[in-house]
Each structure stands twice: as C-alpha cells, then as structure tokens.
Amino acid sequence: MLKNNLKTDHKLSSSSVMDRHNCHKQEIDIERLLIWTYQQKQADKVVWRRDGIGVPRGSSSTAAVARVAALGVMVDCDGSAAYHREILDPDADTVHAMVLQLEPKIAGQVITNARTGARPDAMEGQEPRLCGLNRRGSGIFEPGNGGKPRLVYHDGKQRRPSHCPLVVSPAPEHLAFWRGIYCAWWDALAWLVTPINHHGLERYIVTGPAAPAEPWKKSS
C-alpha cells in the first residue's frame, strides 16, 4: 500500500513540477510561431548553412524540402567552420524539425507562407456567377467600368443583337484549387501543434490555429 502511495505521490510531484514549468511559458498561436521561426530566426536558412538541410539561396522551399526527404540524411555541403558554429534558437530549431516531418510539398508551402507572413489565398468573397464578356479585348464585363458587353447579332450588319454570351466566373475548379491549397496549409498548422507541444519548447505553449479553417464560408 505504501509503495503504491509513493508512486502516486511521485506522479503528483512530477505533474506539479511540469505545471510550474509550463506556467512560465507564453501561449503563442502556431501561425505566429511559424512567422517568428522563419522571418525573425530564419530557421531554414540557418539549418541549411549549418547542416545542409533546408533551403539554399535561390531555391524554392518546396524543392529544397523534397530533396531532404529524398536523401533522408544530413549533407555537409559547406566546409566553412563559421557556418557550422552558427547557433539557431532551440525553439526555432524544434519548430523547423517538426515542419520537416510534413509531406515535402506542404512543408514548403508552410515555410513560404511563414516567410511572407501571408496566408494562402482563400478566394474570400468570391463565388461562381454568370458574367458577360467585354466587347473589346478579353475579360469579364463589369457594369460601371466604362466598357460595353459583347453581343451576338442575328444579322451581318450587327443591327439586331441576339444575346450576350455568358461565362461562369470565377470557375468552380479555380476556387476549388486555391481553397484546397488553403485547407492543406491550415491542416498542416493544426497538425503541428501537438508534436511541437509534445516535444516541448523552452518559452512557448503552442495554440491554434487561430486562422479560420474555411474563411470563405459566411458565419451564420
């Protein structure tokens, strides 16, 4: 009985220590954490210079991450001792390591958006609608823009208009493509929260994502 009590007391004590440790940490949304990691700390560039893993100058994030996944090893591609002594913030190092666990294309997308601080275009406020075409040139006719709609005529002298040709804009497949990219980005952020918190950061407890999952849907 005493042995079981000691085990229980030990678990409670460990839990209390963990709670006290976490209470000094700052909550941070996963999107803000990624922006901090790749804008301020430039984790991918530091790891590339230090370990040969990441995104070299002039390369896209997606292509570089794909190369790392294909190799599955750390490549020493620079002999500079100064580069190998470069130290990355341990929290940024952890975040970058977790991002590299994502599918390469998605990891590249996450890094790219974090670098720019912009979310993928979710095509908010846009839904398919029937639109006329401009009479001259290409593009959608918009009333009030000074142009005229394209007309189809019954006669060769273009005196008797028959109808205005219509198109669907934006195309449903166009919306689906860009919103699919946004959903993949959001799902990646949501997934990253658990492994990052499980590994543990020195200063942060990760929350979120605060970004809406489907921002194009109007709230009821």
Q: Answer yes or no: do 165 and 176 share one domain.
A: no
Structure tokens at 30: 């996963």
Is residue 1 assigned to a domain?
A: no
In the chain, pLDDT over 70 holds for what percent of residues?
Answer: 56
Structure tokens at 106: 């998605």
* Model confidence pTM above 0.75: no
Residue 112 has pLDDT above 50, yes or no: yes
Is residue 215 assigned to a domain?
A: no
Q: How many domains does the chain have?
A: 2
Distance CA 88, CA 67 (A): 22
Distance CA 58, CA 218 (A): 39
Q: Answer yes or no: do 179 and 158 share one domain.
A: no
Q: Answer yes or no: do 165 and 198 share one domain.
A: no
Is residue 182 assigned to a domain?
A: yes
Confidence band, pLDDT 50/70/90 cuts, at residue 117: very high
Full domain range(s) for residue 104: 19-123+172-207
Confidence band, pLDDT 50/70/90 cuts, at residue 50: confident
Backbone angles phi, psi at 133, to 5 degrees: -110, 155
Tell me the per-residue pLDDT of 149-188, one tens digit each, with 9 for 90 and over. Answer: 666 666 666 666 766 777 666 778 888 999 999 999 999 9
Predicted local confidence at residue 134, as pLDDT? 63
Predicted local confidence at residue 170, as pLDDT? 76
Q: Answer yes or no: do 159 and 107 share one domain.
A: no
Distance CA 183, CA 35 (A): 18
Q: Answer yes or no: do 157 and 98 share one domain.
A: no
Q: Answer yes or no: do 60 and 143 share one domain.
A: no
Q: Answer yes or no: do 30 and 68 share one domain.
A: yes
